Amino acid sequence: MCNNLPLLGLTLAELRDLCTSLGMPAFTGGQIAKWLYTAHVSSIDEMTNISKKNRMLLAEHYCVGAMPHKEELISVDGTKKYLFPVASGKYVEAVYIPDKDRATLCVSCQVGCKMNCLFCQTGKQGFEGSLTAGDILNQIYSLPDREKLTNIVFMGQGEPMDNLDNVLKATEILTTEWGYAWSPRRITVSSVGIKDKLKRFLDESECHVAISLHTPIHEQRAQLMPAERGFAIEDIVALLRQYDFSHQRRLSFEYIVFDGQNDTPTHAREIVRLLRGLDCRINLIRFHQIPGVDLNTSDEKKMERLRDYLTAHGLYTTIRASRGQDIFAACGLLSTAKAN
CA of 66: how far to CAs of 3, 136, 177, 206, in Å? 12, 11, 21, 27
Answer yes or no: 109 catalytic: no
CB 283: neighbour CB atoms within 10 A?
16
Contact call for residues 63 and 27 (beta carbons, < 8 A): no
Burial group, residue 186, by CB count within 10 angstroms (0-12, 13-18, 19+):
middle
Strands (E), 61-176: 62-63, 71-74, 80-85, 91-99, 102-106, 110-112, 127-130, 151-154
Cβ neighbours of residue 298 closer than 8 Å, sequence gap 6 or more: 257, 258, 259, 260, 263, 286, 287, 306
CA 62 from chain centre, in angstroms, equals 27
Q: Centre a 10 Å sphere on the Cβ of residue 12 and count the other Cβ atoms it contains.
A: 19
Residue 65: which region, alpha, beta or left (left: phi > 0; alpha: psi -120 to 50)?
left
Catalytic pick among 93, 159, 228, 254: 93
DSSP track, 220-266: HHHHH-GGGGTS-HHHHHHHHTTS--SSSS-EEEEEEEBTTTS-SHH
Please confirm, yes or no, whether 234 is among the known catalytic residues: no
How many C-beta atoms lie closer than 10 Å to residue 90's C-beta?
A: 19
Spot the catalytic one: 63, 207, 280, 331: 331
Q: Which residues are catalytic?
A: 93, 331
